Amino acid sequence: MIEKASYVVEPWTLRESGLDVDDLGRSESLFALSNGHIGLRGNLDEGDPHGLPGSYLNSVHELRPLPYAEAGYGYPESGQTVINVTNGKLIRLLVDDEPFDVRYGELRSHQRRIDFREGVLHREVEWVSPAGQAVRVRSGRLVSFSQRSIAAFYYEVEAIGDAARVVVQSELVANEQLPVFKGDPRAAAALESPLVSELHHAGATKVETLHITRNSEIRVAAAMDHHFEGPDSIGVYTESEPDAGRVTATVVLQPGQKLRMVKWLAYGWSEQRSLPALRDQASAALIAARQTGWSGLVQEQKEYLDAFWARADVEVDGDPEVQQAVRFALFHVLQAGARAERRAIPAKGLTGPGYDGHAFWDSESYVLPVLTYTAPDAARDALRWRHTTLPLARERAELFNLAGAVFPWRTIHGEECSGYWPAGTAAFHVNADIADAVARYVNVTEDTRFERDEGLELLVETARLWRSLGHHDLDGRFRIDGVTGPDEYSAIADNNVYTNLMAKRNLLAAAAAARRHPGRAAELGVNAEVAASWRDAAEDMYIPYDANLGVHPQSEGFTEHEAWDFENTKAEQYPLLLHFPYFDLYRRQVVKQADLVLAMQRCGDAFTHDEKIRNFAYYEALTVRDSSLSACCQAVLAAECGHLSLAHDYLREAALMDLRDIEHNTRDGLHIASLAGSWIALVEGFGGLRDSGEVIAFAPRLPEGLTRLRFGLGVRGRLLRVEVTAAEATYTVSSGPAMTLLHHGRTVRVQPGEPESLEIPPVPLLERPKQPAGREPLSYLRPPGSGAQSTSSTPASRPGGDVNG
């Protein structure tokens, strides 16, 4: 049996040779397929063995209790958890009555691969049964971008050597057995067999099932149909029961003969629609997919991805691993949001159940910046989802005696699901993150209809929150006290710089949007006096500064706290929150993830260049990166400050978070924000992209390890291509009218089809800042030779696991 898997570094493909049955959870996440509507983990076709089965439908969840030792005002009463819905991936094979199972018999070869330009997961296997019968299996799997309710499968069995009786069983299974839940037993009970059967039917080659979740009452329809090719003696049998359906094909294959099956799988789900309506929806989608056929769906998939890569591809020369990783990242970011269509983009996408399938502020702050420039329709629909949750956010604000809306820190449906009140209650910055995403989307796309219909209301309600949450002190400063910023090792702090600066941007953006849409603003109760109060609060916003140290404290008084004892903190004691009480963390200078550094990235015009250099060095010495949300932000500021090799190290950490399983938890699903962060590190870091107004700015510089960087951006009706080498940057408007941009502060007018090349000024030499002992960015050994080298499945990683983001 092949026990060790290896992954090849290739520019467009993730390829696994061999199979490690002890590490299936990781590969299931890496090979997960999704379109933002449906998500299928990369489980083996036959289902067993598995790390973690997973079939997910965006927003389909179950309610579970949130236990508290002591009740508190405003605590959420129940949580929401993504559930494993009806599994239609299963295709079991029996060869002369022996079940195909890679753990038995002889596995001569096993390979899986996915080309990011094709979007199809391919598998090729040669297996000899315990009785000595050899077969070759080839399969393909896709989740359609063009037909959002459809997944499709190709399965081919070939007899090798002797004749073989083969049986292929294609299944639909609800409430399948999952690994033992080790958390709260009340939550486990709530999630055990969450689907209640309402209907099942089988006929010809088609099976239908309908279920409803026990507590959240979401109705789910699943249907499958099939086409078989092979010897004339094929027999096909169909059956169903409440939680299962099966289509079985059997035939005797002579040596060299093949049995081929195409399987179409359709889903429909709703909280409101009736059983007949959902049944008809799934049936109609199935008929359309069958009409398209397997080859037609593959062609549609390729055409969709061709269009995406034509505008979104990032080319990196000099680091083959990063080249592969950034395309892997872009592919999964697209999968997370492409057809989400007014549903959330979870922190894990639809690749696993990590974080209970919740969406956080990660979506607006990390994922949407990428989608806004590369797949703006997906970004718009994610913001429209936030808009649909406004009534719940208003209710939450009213509960806290605040105006406007209070959006949840973590959620699926729109209600706050965090029982950890310093985050779930006090992390108000999520409001400003949403507003920032709205302003960015409108700025980049010039979508005035969205701004008028949905964006303005989001900006208005978030601005109202800040105006009621903050207050003017006796010195006339506008303060926002008692909040939790992005760094979760500091909580309930006064005047967190990130929060205050982002709130300032939120207030100004709301006032400006209200001025652009006075009629709609009046409908929302915004008049000149209200807008003026927002501008006044923004102008008076208090931003703490420590003149003695010459740096900005992360929040008021932070630089006066006792420093954490990094020298005596052992490697195995990271992440700190699993080994030390929050009380210790909250009162010391230690940073879980970029906070003040993120403020400098998002609100760079609030700092001088010298302040950025001093701030960055100060917080490098305090940041332990116990969150995957940090490396890309540190990469961007390292590049801006001139620490290019350090920025390259952070880029690699963000880009390889899952391919190298750095935090030892890729099995639970991919880190979508960190994947998006690889694009951010390249485009905002080494490309120097800054775009907060009418003129887009670049300040590109490459580290020694990269020789060329090329990327595309959709900006205000244009497709702009940027190519960076060590000596110069070239800007080309590939489509759309001429545009003005800034290159290292110099104004440049770029005409369509007329590239402008400009020299890159030298970077000043600076001393590389130091990180806490043992928390330096990981140093990876580049594979020898070119991109065709294999890398071991054993990841380069650091002790401790990521516990947020």
Cis peptide before 49 (omega within 30 of 0): yes
Integer-rounded Cα Rg, in Å, for the chain is: 27
Cβ burial of 741 (10 Å; 0-12, 13-18, 19+) is: buried
| Predicted local confidence at residue 71, as pLDDT | 76
Regarding whether 579 and 449 lie in a shared domain, the answer is no
**Residue 264 near residue 282 (C-beta atoms within 8 A):** no
Query: Strand, coil or helix: what is 540?
Result: coil
Q: How many other C-beta atoms can be found within 10 angstroms of the C-beta atom of residue 473?
A: 12
- Within 13 Å and on the Cβ side, how many CA atoms surround 602? 32
Beta bridge partners, 267, equal 222
Domain membership of residue 267 (yes or no) is: yes
Any residues with CB less than 8 A from the CB of 762 and at least 6 apart, and which? none
CA distance 310 to 285: 29
Beta 258-270 vs 219-229: how paired, if at all? antiparallel
Regarding whether 155 and 100 lie in a shared domain, the answer is yes
**Residue 616 near residue 769 (C-beta atoms within 8 A):** yes
Regarding whether 376 and 229 lie in a shared domain, the answer is no
Any residues with CB less than 8 A from the CB of 73 and at least 6 apart, and which? none
755-761 long-range contacts, CB within 8 A, separation 24+ = 755/730, 755/731, 756/730, 756/731, 756/732, 757/728, 757/729, 757/730, 757/731, 758/728, 758/729, 758/730, 758/731, 759/727, 759/728, 760/700, 760/701, 760/724, 760/726, 760/727, 760/728, 760/729
Q: Of 292, 309, 326, which one is at a domain's C-terminal end? A: 309
CA distance 136 to 130: 15
- Alpha helix (H) residue ranges in 687-761: none
Domain range enclosing 24: 6-309
Classify residue 446 as left (phi > 0), alpha (psi -120 to 50) or beta.
left
Chain-centre distance of CA 669, in angstroms? 9
Regarding whether 31 and 20 lie in a shared domain, the answer is yes
Q: Provide the 8-state DSSP code for 623.
A: B
Domain membership of residue 326 (yes or no) is: no
| Host H or E run for residue 290 | helix 275-312
Query: What is the CATH number for 492?
Result: 1.50.10.10
Any residues with CB less than 8 A from the CB of 307 and at least 6 apart, and which? none
CA distance 359 to 361: 7
| Predicted local confidence at residue 804, as pLDDT | 43
How far lies 744's CA from each of 115, 404, 747, in Å?
A: 37, 40, 9
Domain membership of residue 339 (yes or no) is: no
Beta 562-563 vs 588-589: how paired, if at all? parallel
CA distance 370 to 373: 6
Query: What is the CATH number for 215?
Result: 2.70.98.40
User: Rounded to 5 degrees, what angle do the CA atoms 324, 329, 334 make?
Assistant: 130
Any residues with CB less than 8 A from the CB of 71 and at least 6 apart, and which? none
| Predicted local confidence at residue 788, as pLDDT | 35
**Residue 767 near residue 631 (C-beta atoms within 8 A):** no
Beta 739-743 vs 696-698: how paired, if at all? parallel
- Within 13 Å and on the Cβ side, how many CA atoms surround 248? 12
Regarding whether 553 and 512 lie in a shared domain, the answer is no
Residue whose tokens read 């230690």? 590
Q: Of 510, 526, 544, which one is at a domain's C-terminal end? A: 544
Regarding whether 561 and 533 lie in a shared domain, the answer is no
**Residue 544 near residue 495 (C-beta atoms within 8 A):** yes
Cβ burial of 773 (10 Å; 0-12, 13-18, 19+) is: middle
Q: Which residues are catalytic?
A: 488
Q: How many other C-beta atoms can be found within 10 angstroms of the C-beta atom of residue 693?
A: 9
Domain membership of residue 397 (yes or no) is: yes
Any residues with CB less than 8 A from the CB of 584 and at least 6 apart, and which? none
Q: Of 523, 544, 565, which one is at a domain's C-terminal end? A: 544
Regarding whether 558 and 516 lie in a shared domain, the answer is no
Chain-centre distance of CA 296, in angstroms? 28
Beta bridge partners, 732, equal 721
**Residue 168 near residue 91 (C-beta atoms within 8 A):** yes
Count Cβ neighbours within 10 Å for each residue of 165-204 and write b for 16 or more, e otherwise.
ebbbbbbbbbbbebeeeeeeeebeebbeebbbebebebee
Cβ burial of 583 (10 Å; 0-12, 13-18, 19+) is: exposed
Q: What is the 3-state secondary structure (H, E, C) of 73-100?
A: CCCCCEEEEECCCCECCCEEEEECCEEC
| Predicted local confidence at residue 1, as pLDDT | 53
Domain membership of residue 412 (yes or no) is: no
Residue whose tokens read 């005047």? 495
CA torsion through residues 691, 692, 696, 701, sign: negative
Domain membership of residue 605 (yes or no) is: yes
CA distance 319 to 269: 43
**Residue 495 near residue 556 (C-beta atoms within 8 A):** yes
Domain membership of residue 408 (yes or no) is: no
Regarding whether 658 and 534 lie in a shared domain, the answer is no
CA distance 652 to 662: 11
Query: Strand, coil or helix: what is 137?
Result: strand
CA distance 71 to 76: 10
**Residue 364 near residue 431 (C-beta atoms within 8 A):** no
| Host H or E run for residue 461 | helix 456-469
Domain membership of residue 570 (yes or no) is: yes
Any residues with CB less than 8 A from the CB of 297 and at least 6 apart, and which? 142, 144, 146, 147, 150, 152, 289
Q: Could you tell me the mean pLDDT of each successive run of 10 residues in the chain, 805 residues long? A: 82 96 95 98 97 97 86 85 97 97 96 98 97 97 98 98 96 90 53 93 97 97 98 95 98 97 98 96 97 98 98 98 98 97 96 96 97 98 98 97 97 92 88 98 97 98 98 98 96 97 98 98 98 98 98 98 96 94 94 97 97 98 96 98 97 96 95 98 98 92 96 97 98 97 97 97 92 84 37 44 43
Query: Strand, coil or helix: what is 260?
Result: strand
CA distance 703 to 680: 16
CA torsion through residues 367, 371, 377, 379, sign: positive
Regarding whether 432 and 486 lie in a shared domain, the answer is yes
Regarding whether 550 and 540 lie in a shared domain, the answer is no
Number of domains in the chain: 3
Amino acid code (one letter) for 168: V
Any residues with CB less than 8 A from the CB of 592 and at least 6 apart, and which? 487, 488, 489, 575, 576, 577, 585, 623, 624, 625, 626, 627, 630, 804
CA distance 420 to 623: 22
Cis peptide before 242 (omega within 30 of 0): no
- Alpha helix (H) residue ranges in 157-274: 185-191
CA distance 255 to 259: 12
Regarding whether 632 and 535 lie in a shared domain, the answer is no
Regarding whether 649 and 783 lie in a shared domain, the answer is yes
